[in-house]
Amino acid sequence: MNAFEEYMREVSQPMRDELTNAGFEELLTPGQVEEFMANNDTPTLVMINSVCGCAAGLARPAVIESLNHDKKPSKLVTVFAGQDREATARMRDFFENVEPSSPSIALVNKGQLVHFIPRDEIEGFEKEDIINNLTKAYNEYC
């Protein structure tokens, strides 16, 4: 690992911890993504994490707070755009006809994308708007 990669890992660790401390499982390799998607048959929240401000100020806090809802996904996973590039690219392969976006939030069920919130529905929105978007999807799909 070169000095830049090591620095970015160090800088992004608190951003990773914010999600793992909330119960998210990190998928770090394409193989982990493939195995998870092939074997998971329950509603799952997928957070495509990012170092940007809208991930820090909106996406991660909204996702975590949305989990206080009565109906919610059974599983929580995350990939980190810009850090775990291959895992993120592999996860995005499962989101057919969706432009790559980070941060973004997906709800999948039985390996199929059922709801997606791209960056342009995160950045410039209120945290409550994102929470409402998620809880509506939870009510429908979980």
The per-residue pLDDT for range 77-104, each reduced to its tens digit, is 999 998 999 999 999 999 989 999 999 9
Q: Sketch the domain layout of the chain as residue ranges.
A: 19-141
Q: Are 43 and 112 in contact (CB under 8 A)?
A: no
Catalytic positions are 52, 54
pLDDT classification of 9: cutoffs 50, 70, 90: confident
pTM of the model: 0.94
Q: What type of residue sits at position 109? A: N
Please provide the DSSP assignment of 23-75 as one string: TPEE--SHHHHHHHHHH--S-EEEEEE-SSHHIIIIIHHHHHHHTTSSS--SE
How would residue 5 be classed by pLDDT, with cut points 50, 70 and 90?
Answer: confident
Q: What's the token pair of residue 16?
A: 């990773």
Give the strand order in the sheet containing 75-80.
25-26, 75-80, 44-49, 104-109, 112-117
The reported pLDDT for the residue numbered 53 is: 87
pLDDT at 1 over 80: no
pLDDT per residue over 105-128, tens digit each? 999 998 899 999 999 999 999 999
Predicted confidence at residue 7, as pLDDT, reads 84
Fold exhibited by the domain 19-141: Glutaredoxin (3.40.30)
